[in-house]
Amino acid sequence: MSEVSFKTSRALAEYPKEAKLKTGQKIVVRPLVKEDNDALLAFFRALPREDREKLKDDVTKPEVISHWTDNIDYESVIAILAFCDDKIIGDATLHRTTFGWSTHVGEIRIVTSQEFRAQGLGRLLLRELFFIALVLQLDKLIAQMPEEQAAARKVFRTLGFEQEAVLKNQIKDLEGRPHNLVIMSQEVIAFWKKIQDSIADTLADHSGS
């Protein structure tokens, strides 16, 4: 594993963390390590084809997964995994560039196991990456998704992401049908300030002032 900056090690200092899904199911979230290779391959292979086609790599190939687990570099990609009884049930990644004009921007990708969908896992993983982005002092987060991915749009909207662009016929599914690609984005500090203001308002209401 390559060297980790002070900011990145601060962002990851609190892991592993325990959390609960809406069902009460206890899970653990923590960053990817090399030893997760086999479990990660099993997680991706278990995804239905329609989910896998939305990903940027062929995650059924062992060499694709081992390329990631052999070359972990948290300065470029932070992968946070969700575990239920040692089985991976979700993978959320924050991608950064270390050089050039977009080092202030992070891209988020999230995928969860079908059997754990609509239980709050996607939002939970997005929240983790949002707080990591805050500690890393990123200015802006983006996420890309097919226009018809309503669940993804809902998850990202709840964390303050708004639609920024639609790229027409930008992606094709495995049958070769074109789809529009939506880019959603969030201004990290502005969103954090909004949360803090709303907490301050709630506290003021309760104190009667």
Ligand X SMILES: CC(C)(COP(=O)(O)OP(=O)(O)OC[C@H]1O[C@@H](n2cnc3c(N)ncnc32)[C@H](O)[C@@H]1OP(=O)(O)O)[C@@H](O)C(=O)NCCC(=O)NCCS
Residues binding ligand X (CB under 6 A)? 51, 54, 109-112, 117-123, 143, 145, 149-152, 154-155
In the complex, minimum distance from the CB of residue 60 to ligand X, in angstroms, rounded to a whole number? 15
Q: Which of 5/60 has CB closer to ligand X?
A: 60
In the complex, minimum distance from the CB of residue 13 to ligand X, in angstroms, rounded to a whole number? 25
Comparing every residue's Cβ against ligand X, the nearest one is 122
In the complex, minimum distance from the CB of residue 167 to ligand X, in angstroms, rounded to a whole number? 14
CA triple 99-104-105, angle to 5 deg? 100
**For residues 93 and 32, what is the distance between their CA atoms, to the nearest angstrom?**
10
In the complex, minimum distance from the CB of residue 9 to ligand X, in angstroms, rounded to a whole number? 26
Q: Which of 112/185 has CB closer to ligand X?
A: 112
Order of strands across the sheet that contains 140-146: 17-20, 26-31, 77-84, 87-96, 105-112, 140-146, 178-187, 162-172
Q: Which of 69/112 has CB closer to ligand X?
A: 112
Q: Which of 24/208 has CB closer to ligand X?
A: 24
Q: Which of 102/114 has CB closer to ligand X?
A: 114
**For residues 5 and 26, what is the distance between their CA atoms, to the nearest angstrom?**
31
Q: Are strands 17-20 and 77-84 parallel, antiparallel or unpaired?
A: unpaired
For the four alpha carbons of 91, 194, 18 and 71, in that order, the dihedral sign comes to positive
In the complex, minimum distance from the CB of residue 10 to ligand X, in angstroms, rounded to a whole number? 25
